[in-house]
């Protein structure tokens, strides 16, 4: 007998939900200008309903000069004409509701665009009422306040000769940091959020939220002393007035502060995106471009730590991919011979754990990384890195290798809908080239194949909704030191889920961590047959369900 989640349970809706991330400019173009848009998303809602997701996290669609693809907002209360209008956004929110899909808006609150009205005012004079909305330092053009660096290269300080001052920016020069110490800034932000809540959104994703409480004088960017105070006020003034999902992006999260961020009392967010697993294939203390092989044992330990330490006192988000990360099947799976098997294995490993899973557009098709020449990249981070490293004397070949492996544009190529021209994304040349493998890898063909990655994700989503143990079961890791296998259970009273995944391209025989009774159910598996329970072929993955 399986436990069915009843409506009466007091579980917040986002605990048994699966979220789908859309990068709007690359999802579906509806007016054939080569750029994805809101009407395009509306057209594709039936596809998302079929997949079974509960909410869409929409990367930013607000008005923006697009220096960082919309993560530089010049008007938080309007839609960029490239994506449509405010009416289109309302239409999306309302139409999605009919499909039982909620819309999660991406809030970029650490910084605005330098073309935002506030910054244009702030720059006019030191006495302008908006001056204090940003972070300024007096100085001289040849002596920066300190040597802090911006994430997209160069100094974090930009000189404004008219004011004889520097302003602070953690990202590009077109993304000045907002001054959260100023209560007026915070009030403006809360009012803007309440305005979005009135439009009926289902939640918010909070961009680099752990960086809002910076203290540039002390070189502090993330986890500043006032961070949780600010977040609690933000939550009290806004989110707590609705039934929302909120997820903060926090590169500086650890299991201790994640318990605050995702405190079940609702005082901060529903959960955070933490990135400890994401950094495991780079050289320690260096940048993401400084590649190292994935430490698989560490990966297991990291998941183990997050799963056990947040149990009952926090909530995990589960993800492999997003618009800033390479495609997981290319990164830690196998994007050639075992693309299908490894994509399904990675999905199994992730969706079996406790937390809210996020699927990044195209992940459900096993979309892969790309290998472009430098002129085909569009991402500001990638382009800046290329020039910076060339100047520093790195070999071009080495730089391009890092870009092929890690560039954010790997995730940003257009969604592969069909084998038609431009992959069914548009009828014209898109803003960024399409991955040439769209002829083999596309939604149309997978929808016709019952064994496709698409239907595997669909099934995982259905299982999570059917068996409450996916939501509540306690996590135990087995075979910790095994170099190839990740095996864990989730247990809830007398119920057990056993998840076994072979992470590598070899066949392995293992000692099963616990015995599987004969009256078990094999809930899902990425091979159609099974040799025996203790033999796992390349990338083989299974989830068993049984009673103790």
Write the DSSP symbol of residue 221: -
Tokens of 70: 């919309």
Rank residues 26 and 468 by Cβ distance to ligand GLC and give the closer one: 26
Among 29, 88, 177, 207, binds ligand GLC (CB under 6 A): 207
Active site includes 207? yes
CB of 363 to ligand GLC, least distance (A): 16
Beta strands in 237-355 (DSSP E): 245-249, 271-273, 317-318
Could you tell which of Ca ion, ligand GLC, none binds residue 35, using a CB distance below 5 to 8 A set by kind? Ca ion
Beta strands in 178-267 (DSSP E): 203-206, 245-249
Size of the site for ligand GLC (CB under 6 A): 9
Q: Residue 86: phi, psi to the nearest 5?
A: -60, -35
Rank residues 71 and 457 by Cβ distance to ligand GLC and give the closer one: 71
Find where tokens 């076994």 sit.
500
DSSP letter for each residue of 19-82: EEEE-GGGT--SSSSSS--HHHHHHTHHHHHHHT-SEEEEPP-EE---TTTTSS-SEEEEE-TT
CB of 171 to ligand GLC, least distance (A): 5
Among 208, 272, 302, 541, binds ligand GLC (CB under 6 A): 208
Query: Does 76 sit near ligand GLC (CB under 6 A)?
Result: no
Rank residues 324 and 482 by Cβ distance to ligand GLC and give the closer one: 324
Return the residues of window 87-126 that contact ligand GLC according to CB under 6 A.
108
Could you tell which of Ca ion, ligand GLC, none binds residue 444, using a CB distance below 5 to 8 A set by kind? none
Could you tell which of Ca ion, ligand GLC, none binds residue 389, using a CB distance below 5 to 8 A set by kind? none
Could you tell which of ligand GLC, Ca ion, none binds residue 33, using a CB distance below 5 to 8 A set by kind? Ca ion
Given 67, 249, 268, 276, which residue is catalytic? 249
Q: Residue 335: phi, psi to the nearest 5?
A: -95, 15
Piece in contact with Ca ion (CB under 5 A), picked from 31-39, 147-155, 156-164, 338-346: 31-39
Return the residues of window 304-343 that contact ligand GLC according to CB under 6 A.
323-324
Rank residues 322 and 426 by Cβ distance to ligand GLC and give the closer one: 322
How far apart, in whole angstroms, are the C-alpha atoms of residue 60 and residue 69?
Answer: 8
CB of 319 to ligand GLC, least distance (A): 12
Query: Does 71 sit near ligand GLC (CB under 6 A)?
Result: yes
Query: Does 35 sit near Ca ion (CB under 5 A)?
Result: yes
Could you tell which of Ca ion, ligand GLC, none binds residue 501, using a CB distance below 5 to 8 A set by kind? none
Tokens of 527: 């091979």
Beta bridge partners of 316: 272
Query: Does 429 sit near Ca ion (CB under 5 A)?
Result: no
CB of 381 to ligand GLC, least distance (A): 7
Q: Show Cβ contacts of residue 206 under 8 Å, excluding neighbours closer than 6 positions.
A: 107, 109, 246, 247, 248, 249, 269
Q: Which of 409, 410, 438, 401 is nearest to 327 (CA)?
A: 410
- Return the number of other C-beta atoms located less than 10 Å from residue 179's C-beta: 20
How far apart, in whole angstroms, are the C-alpha atoms of residue 173 and residue 125?
Answer: 19
Given 207, 268, 341, 379, which residue is catalytic? 207
Q: Show Cβ contacts of residue 370 under 8 Å, excluding neighbours closer than 6 positions.
A: 404, 409, 410, 413, 433, 435
Q: With the C-alpha atoms ordered 216, 218, 219, 222, is the resulting torsion angle positive or negative?
A: negative
Interhelix angle 227-237/183-198, nearest 10 degrees: 40
Could you tell which of ligand GLC, Ca ion, none binds residue 29, using a CB distance below 5 to 8 A set by kind? Ca ion
Specify whether the CB–CB gap between 483 and 506 falls below 8 A. no
Could you tell which of Ca ion, ligand GLC, none binds residue 68, using a CB distance below 5 to 8 A set by kind? ligand GLC
Query: Does 37 sit near Ca ion (CB under 5 A)?
Result: yes
143-182 footprint of ligand GLC as x/- string (CB under 6 A): ----------------------------x-----------
Q: Could you give the residue numbers annotated as active site?
A: 207, 249
- Residues of this chain that interact with Ca ion (CB under 5 A) are 29, 31, 33, 35, 37
């Amino acid at each position: 007998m399986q436990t069915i989640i009843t409506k009466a349970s007091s579980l917040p809706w986002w605990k048994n939900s699966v979220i789908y991330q859309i990068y709007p400019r690359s999802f579906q173009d509806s007016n054939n200008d080569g750029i994805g848009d809101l009407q395009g998303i509306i057209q594709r809602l039936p596809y998302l309903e079929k997949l079974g997701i509960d909410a869409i996290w929409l990367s930013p669609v607000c008005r923006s000069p697009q220096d960082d693809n919309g993560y530089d907002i010049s008007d938080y209360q309007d839609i960029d004409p490239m994506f449509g209008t405010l009416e289109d956004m309302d239409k999306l929110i309302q139409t999605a509701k009919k499909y039982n899909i909620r819309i999660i808006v991406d809030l970029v609150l650490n910084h605005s665009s330098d073309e935002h009205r506030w910054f244009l005012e702030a720059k006019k004079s030191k006495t302008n009422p908006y001056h204090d909305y940003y972070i300024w330092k007096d100085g001289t053009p040849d002596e920066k306040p300190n040597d802090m660096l911006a994430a997209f290269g160069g100094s974090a300080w930009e000189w404004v000769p008219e004011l004889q001052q520097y302003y602070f920016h953690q990202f590009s020069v077109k993304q000045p940091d907002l001054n959260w110490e100023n209560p007026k800034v915070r009030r403006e932000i809360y009012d803007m959020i309440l305005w979005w809540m009135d439009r009926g959104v289902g939640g918010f994703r909070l961009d680099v939220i752990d960086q809002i409480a910076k203290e540039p004088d002390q070189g502090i960017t993330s986890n500043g002393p006032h961070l949780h105070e600010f977040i609690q006020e933000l939550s009290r003034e806004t989110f707590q007035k609705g039934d929302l999902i909120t997820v903060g992006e926090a590169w500086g999260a650890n299991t201790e502060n994640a318990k605050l961020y995702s405190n079940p009392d609702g005082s901060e967010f529903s959960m955070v995106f933490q990135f400890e697993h994401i950094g495991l294939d780079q050289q320690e203390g260096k940048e993401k471009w400084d590649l190292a092989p994935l430490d698989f044992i560490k990966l297991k330990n990291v998941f183990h730590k997050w799963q056990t330490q947040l149990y009952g006192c926090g909530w995990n988000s589960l993800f492999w991919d997003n618009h800033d990360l390479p495609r997981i099947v290319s990164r830690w799976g196998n994007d050639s011979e075992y693309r299908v098997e490894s994509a399904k294995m990675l999905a199994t490993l992730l969706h079996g754990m406790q937390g809210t899973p996020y699927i990044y557009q195209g992940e459900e098709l096993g979309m892969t990384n790309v290998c472009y020449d430098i002129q085909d990249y569009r991402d500001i981070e990638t382009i800046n890195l290329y020039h910076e490293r060339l100047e520093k004397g790195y070999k071009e070949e080495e730089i391009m290798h890092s870009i092929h492996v890690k560039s954010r544009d790997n995730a940003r190529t257009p969604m592969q809908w069909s084998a038609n021209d431009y992959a069914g994304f548009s009828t014209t040349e898109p803003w960024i080239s399409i991955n040439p493998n769209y002829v083999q890898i596309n939604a149309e063909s997978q929808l016709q194949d019952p064994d496709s990655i698409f239907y595997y994700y669909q099934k995982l989503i259905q299982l999570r909704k059917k068996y409450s143990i996916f939501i509540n079961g306690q996590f135990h890791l087995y075979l910790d030191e095994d170099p190839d296998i990740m095996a864990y259970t989730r247990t809830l009273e007398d119920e057990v889920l056993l998840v076994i995944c072979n992470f590598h391209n070899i066949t392995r025989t293992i000692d099963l961590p616990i015995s599987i009774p004969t009256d078990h159910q094999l809930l899902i598996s990425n091979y159609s047959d099974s040799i025996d329970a203790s033999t796992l072929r390349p990338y083989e993955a299974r989830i068993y369900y049984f009673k103790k």
